[in-house]
């Protein structure tokens, strides 16, 4: 797939050479810079980072906080993360559980390095954020896709099939709830059953709960303001690695800052992994992250309210085209929808750039079971979303019928 | 070595669990926060990043450049790196050769992932920056230490022994010139011979030339202002991966920004690796890096002049203790010296924090052949260095004789 000439290609590690190109990056690169394009392909809001956060970084820069820093993160940020997590779950957390990372991706990279390598398998329910499978594969381990089941009421994770997918080589389960891209959200009962299953088989859980504040289903936490979490059902020092990020809640996608939560006993291992992968996160960025956690609650609530409002507009608008299949997602801020007669959404996503000037992520990017869907991020300005829905409503029926023909 | 309890330890990948703790981080953590301590353990200057660079990041932040960005780096920075490299080597470079990374470490991580994995060997001349060996080991490959030979005129890399260390499993050579910690600097003739050797055996070269502007030996580029480089002797599209960083030249250690230089044909592979390891470098940091390259030449020259001045003071001051063995390093900004009768410099480095309040890096951190040495970074304020040398001169003879006794 990659245009690497033989002489160089022959010298590259096979697990690196066969890494999939991100189907999202491919489409984004295709559309980048087009005049008037509405980009809804990436999980990213439209607002730049607010000044009260950005200025904290600038102040730290001006104060000269430009030296090497703690590999685990500055103590002030680890403490702020512990307090934030404590507020969310109503109990105290040890700051030693939290390790500052270069975004959620770096947290994922380290988690996968801890739990999997050559000869190992990691089960990933799909459709899924493609980086899960890639982060497993680049270590020489095998990601085992477990396709979730689409239904009229949304996606279902069949726990019987999950258990059946476990082999002696299985080392970990990736549980992403709410899910990007499907919006599937685990109930507390799901989490208990998954945890028991993991314990029974001695597996790690890699828990991506980064969308936990974006929940719309009353049965899944819409009133409490957060979804059920493994934090609700786990013991201390359980084999669970949590991925988190500042990207979405605090409009900091481009900052590349997040955290890994792990049992404190893994501290020396994680400190080493940070040292030997990135050597830490700039202290001046961490200062801004502290401010985000301590003063950013209003910002998070604005994002949640915006996403809730937009979810209805997007779902209704897309369904009104009569060529779209889309159960309302219970969590997260994506519409993951099928288009009548279309099975190759990679081509459709490129066509929609040319014909609607709207950028969507092709479901082909999200692994097994995703190829018939498109992902639209609705954490955007409402007026822009309405414009995008209008353009899609004009283009989709044409493209849908053209492909069905 | 790590205090991970059995139940969790049993679940960790062996190549991750056996990662060495950085001997430098251990000592730095031991001494961090001590009143009046002079930290010379890390390869880092004393000056914070100058305002003309830092303010470019703050301006970009204020302008809202806080979104996801190009995985290979913003085009403006890749072009600026190409121009900078062009000025250094007197010819044009294709911006497509350059990939922006989270510091030199991320560049190293990606280089090692490209060239090595389970079953492979990578030859690392030692003493060496410990992260080379760790970055190899964490991928499940084996770093083969090739001890360099200390002599009265400095360290020597025996190319015959280098070739003898090559086995059918060898995939790459790490060539760090000027070397951290020894200061060893390859001549042009050395580079030609190493390159021929690599070609003959089909090996990659991972070239760390980050100290190339810090050269003191007239025979090795002190007049031209840079050391010999593989750029001087290679063909286009050679199997060479260059690591670079903004850390040292531009006083940006804490920014975690650097670059990987590779044949453009590897572009899709490297873009994927960035995506699946860190997902890029903040655009607002990259704006500052552009300014560093375009307006920072005076700053680099100040650093070089300071290091040149300090090198003499440090070498003479340490030799005057009469318990130190230290040939003047031909390149880089480290004094890597032995102390009479001391073989365990890890213990000595901890003792020097307690007894001299000076932080040095123990040679034990730098692999085979390093255990009898201490590393002192002399890219520091001259008066502070003089104070440190005074304290060391008071403490070292005592500690040297105590251990010899």
Which domains are present in chain A?
Answer: 7-49+298-397 (3.90.1150.10), 51-295 (3.40.640.10)
CA distance B180 to B185: 10
- As given in the structure block, the two tokens for residue B301 are 């020259």
Best CA proximity match to B14, nearest among B142, B168, B169, B170: B142
Q: Report the residue from A11, A256, A269 with minimal CB separation from B282.
A: A256
A25 near B CB under 8 A: yes
Q: Per-residue b/e over B211-246, b at no fewer than 16 CB within 10 Å?
A: bbbbbbbeebbbeeebbbbbbebbeeebbbbbbbbb
Where is pLDDT greater, at B27 or A250?
A250
Complex-level ipTM beyond the 0.90 threshold = yes
The shortest CB-CB distance from B280 to any of A48, A256, A277 is to A256
As a whole number of angstroms, the distance between CA A93 and CA A81 comes to 9
Contact B135 A276 (CB under 8 A): yes
User: Does residue A294 sit at the B interface (CB-CB below 8 Å)?
Assistant: no
CB contacts under 8 A, B 60-89 vs A, are 61-62, 64-69, 71
Asked if A105 lies within 8 A of B49 by C-beta distance, the reply is: no
Which residue in this structure is represented by tokens 């081509």?
A347
Write down the H helix ranges in B116-158: 130-137
Q: What is the pLDDT along chain A (405 residues), one digit of tens a residue?
A: 444 445 787 788 989 988 887 788 788 889 988 999 999 998 888 999 999 999 999 999 999 999 999 999 999 999 999 999 999 999 999 999 999 999 999 999 999 999 999 999 999 999 999 999 999 999 999 999 999 999 999 999 999 999 999 999 999 999 999 999 999 999 999 999 999 999 999 999 999 999 999 999 999 999 999 999 999 999 988 999 999 999 999 999 999 999 999 999 999 999 999 999 999 999 999 999 999 999 999 999 999 999 999 999 999 999 999 999 999 999 999 999 999 999 889 999 999 999 999 999 999 999 999 999 999 999 999 999 999 999 999 999 998 865 544
What letter does residue A229 receive in the DSSP assignment?
-
Under an 8 A CB cutoff, do B237 and A134 touch?
no
pLDDT level of residue B402 (50, 70, 90 thresholds): low
Q: Rounded distance, CA B216 to CA B227, Å? A: 9
Distance from CA of B197 to the nearest CA of A (A): 16
Chain A contact present for B2, CB below 8 A: yes
Contacts of B290 by beta carbon, 8 Å cutoff, 6+ apart: B56, B76, B77, B80
Instruction: Identify the residue with better confidence: A38 or B18.
Output: A38
Q: Give which of A286, A353, A298, A263 is closest to A80, Cα–Cα.
A: A286
Classify the C-alpha dihedral A92-A98-A100-A106 as positive or negative. Answer: negative
Q: How many residues in total does chain A contain? A: 405
Please state the rounded mean pLDDT for residues B236-259. 96
Rounded average pLDDT over B367-376: 95
Closest CA to B53 of B188, B243, B254, B272: B254
Q: State the average pLDDT over residues B7-33.
A: 83
Task: Please tell me the predicted confidence (pLDDT) of residue B8.
Answer: 80
Angstroms from B278 CA to nearest CA on chain A: 5
Predicted pLDDT at B164: 98
Quick one: closest CA in A to B130, which residue?
A276
Report the pLDDT averaged over residues B1-5.
Answer: 45
Binary contact (B106, A278; C-beta < 8 A):
yes
Nearest 5 degrees, angle CA B17-CA B116-CA B139?
15
Burial of B381 (0-12, 13-18, 19+ CB in 10 A): middle
Number of other CB atoms surrounding residue A50 within 10 Å = 20
Per-residue pLDDT at B33 = 87
Sign of the torsion angle spanned by Cα atoms A257, A262, A267, A271:
negative
pLDDT band at B248 (very low <50, low <70, confident <90, very high): very high
* pLDDT score, position A17: 87
pLDDT, position A25 = 78
A20 within 8 A of A366, measured Cβ to Cβ: no
Neighbouring-strand partners of residue A241: A206
How much of chain B exceeds pLDDT 90, in percent?
88
Is the distance from CB of A328 to CB of A153 less than 8 angstroms? Answer: no
Q: Which residues of B touch A109 (CB under 8 A)?
A: 276-278
Which A residues, 310 through 369, put their C-beta within 8 Å of a C-beta on chain B?
Answer: none
CA distance A400 to chain B (A): 31
Q: Which of A8, A13, A113 shows the shortest C-beta gap to B138?
A: A113
Nearest to A269 among B4, B25, B69 (CB): B4
Q: How far is A44 from chain B (nearest CA, A)?
A: 8
Q: Does A169 touch chain B (CB under 8 A)?
A: no
Q: How far is A220 from chain B (nearest CA, A)?
A: 30
């Amino acid at each position: 797939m990659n245009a690497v000439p033989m002489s160089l290609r022959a010298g590259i590690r096979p697990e690196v050479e066969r890494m999939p190109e991100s189907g999202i990056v491919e489409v984004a690169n295709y559309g980048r810079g087009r005049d008037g394009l509405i980009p809804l392909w990436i999980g990213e809001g439209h607002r730049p980072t607010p000044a009260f956060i950005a200025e904290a970084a600038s102040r730290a820069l001006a104060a000269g906080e430009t030296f090497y820093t703690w590999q685990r993160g500055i103590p002030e940020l680890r403490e702020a993360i512990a307090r934030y997590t404590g507020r969310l779950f109503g109990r105290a957390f040890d700051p030693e559980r939290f390790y500052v990372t270069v975004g959620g991706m770096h947290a994922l990279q380290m988690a996968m390095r801890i739990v999997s390598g050559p000869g190992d398998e990691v089960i990933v329910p799909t459709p899924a954020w493609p980086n899960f499978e890639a982060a497993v594969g680049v270590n020489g381990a095998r990601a085992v896709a477990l396709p979730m089941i689409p239904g009229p009421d949304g996606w279902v994770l069949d726990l019987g099939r999950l258990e059946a997918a476990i082999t002696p080589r299985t080392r970990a389960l990736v549980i992403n709830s709410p899910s990007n891209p499907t919006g599937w959200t685990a109930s507390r009962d799901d989490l208990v059953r998954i945890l028991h299953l993991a314990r029974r088989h001695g597996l790690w859980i890699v828990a991506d709960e980064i969308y936990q504040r974006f929940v719309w289903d009353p049965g899944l936490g819409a009133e409490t303001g957060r979804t059920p979490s493994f934090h609700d059902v786990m013991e201390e020092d359980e084999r669970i690695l949590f991925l988190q990020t500042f990207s979405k809640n605090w409009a900091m996608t481009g900052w590349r800052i997040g955290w890994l939560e792990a049992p404190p006993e893994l501290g020396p291992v994680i400190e080493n992994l940070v040292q030997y992968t990135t050597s830490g996160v700039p202290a001046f960025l961490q200062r801004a992250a502290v401010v985000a956690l301590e003063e950013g609650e209003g910002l998070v609530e604005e994002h949640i309210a915006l996403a809730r409002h937009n979810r209805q507009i997007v779902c209704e608008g897309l369904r009104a085209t009569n060529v779209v299949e889309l159960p309302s997602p219970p969590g997260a801020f994506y519409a993951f929808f099928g288009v009548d007669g279309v099975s190759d959404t990679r081509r459709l996503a490129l066509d929609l750039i040319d014909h609607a000037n709207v950028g969507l992520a092709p479901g082909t990017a999200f692994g097994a079971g995703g190829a018939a869907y498109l992902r639209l991020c609705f954490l955007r300005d409402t007026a822009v979303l309405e414009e995008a829905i209008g353009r899609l409503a004009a283009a989709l029926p044409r493209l849908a019928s053209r492909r069905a023909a």
